[in-house]
Amino acid sequence: MSGLLSADLPEEYLELARTVRAFATEVVAPVAHHHDQTHTFPYEVVAQMGEMGLFGLPFPEEHGGMGGDYLALCVALEELGRVDQSVAITLEAGVSLGAMPVFRFGTDEQKQRWLPDLTAGRALGAFGLTEPGAGTDAGGTRTTAVRDGDEWVINGSKQFITNSGTDITTLITVTAVTSELDGKRRISSILVPADTPGVLVEPAYDKVGWNASDTHPLTFTDVRVPVENLLGEEGRGYANFLRILDEGRIAIAALAVGAAQGCVDESIRYAGEREAFGRPIGANQAVAFRIARMEARAHTARLAYLDAARLLLAGKPFKKQAAIAKMVASEAAMDNARDATQVFGGYGFMNEFTVARHYRDSKILEIGEGTTEVQLMLIARELGLPG
């Protein structure tokens, strides 16, 4: 047996994995190609995920959550990522970038206002961090929030923002420069209701992959929100979002492992069914060894994200392990997608096959939530190397 169900995990996580796998197989997979080809958001799937409690997995019941933990979220993401990365990233971003900042840094009033709908999947939140001139260098943020009496006035633009333009998007957490200290810009996080005047959701991107995931640029023009919409301490937005990204890298790693495992599963099935020269192609050592290497990548990457998640849950430092997991898993997803496409031959180049979608979808895993180069930088820094 391969995959998450063979992992050494407590039974409650394995039961969750079985439940989400069945949902992914019976509900998500049959409509994945349609939403990918039509570039439509899978509202019906998201609604069912909300009813299952997936958006509330790592949150306490007092906020409408399921009382689980971050590892439970990762388990769900791996199983969804096996069949449809767009659906998986919708959940990952909705939890890690939408609801988690409010849970980690919000006031009691902010939590009471926003979390019940976000954790139930009735609403989605977005995290407005990346800008046209500030991606990896997020400290180069140009969006500003100026205090005017009892309001913040926000001006600027954001790009590549997931879950920012759906019909159920209700909240955007915006990072903005609120002041300067000793010549350095102080970045804060501010909660902006999506229907606030001055918030413009620009047309959706025409992407290579993740076509059923909602992604837009955002423009903020004299957007006014109350001063109490400040999330956390003023000037701590940069530090706070770094914590959010560290956690998010574990979740992205789990999603990537799902994609890598999905490529293994599809290749095993196809190699057993497809015949050439009178026997299944899986009987050929070249194909068998290729699939064996794919399984080794997925297994190794899974161990990496499980290790990082366990450190997080234990309250121990996990930055290095999260970076390792994200890098190893994203590379495994990309490499396995390439190899799976080769196993499928001409069929692997046809979009109706899952491996073709994984081939297009997986590249962004090496870019989003910190590029591979950023992960290497973080790992080197944690090792104490100079620079």
Q: Which residues are catalytic?
A: 369
Do the bridges between strand 124-128 and strand 169-181 make them parallel or antiparallel, or are there none, so unpaired? parallel
Q: In whole angstroms, what is the distance from residue 114 CA to residue 193 CA?
A: 10
Q: In whole angstroms, what is the distance from residue 215 CA to residue 228 CA?
A: 28
- DSSP code for 93: I
Q: Are the beta carbons of 123 and 169 closer than 8 angstroms?
A: yes
Q: Six-digit token pair at 75?
A: 């388990």
Q: Are the beta carbons of 14 and 5 closer than 8 angstroms?
A: yes
Would you say the C-alpha torsion 156, 157, 158, 162 has a positive or negative sign?
positive
- DSSP code for 347: G
Nearest to 84 by CA among 36, 12, 137: 36
User: E strand or H helix at 22, and its extent?
Assistant: helix 11-23
- What are the CA-CA distances from residue 45 to residues 74, 87, 104, 126 (Å)? 18, 8, 27, 19
Could you give phi then psi for residue 249, rounded to 5 degrees?
A: -65, -35
Nearest to 164 by CA among 156, 152, 172: 172
- DSSP code for 202: P
Q: Are the beta carbons of 365 and 333 closer than 8 angstroms?
A: yes
Nearest to 80 by CA among 38, 43, 115, 46: 46
Q: In whole angstroms, what is the distance from residue 163 CA to residue 160 CA?
A: 10
Nearest to 147 by CA among 239, 228, 231: 228
* Burial class of residue 9, CB neighbours in 10 A (0-12, 13-18, 19+): middle
Q: In whole angstroms, what is the distance from residue 122 CA to residue 75 CA?
A: 22
Q: Six-digit token pair at 326?
A: 């994200």
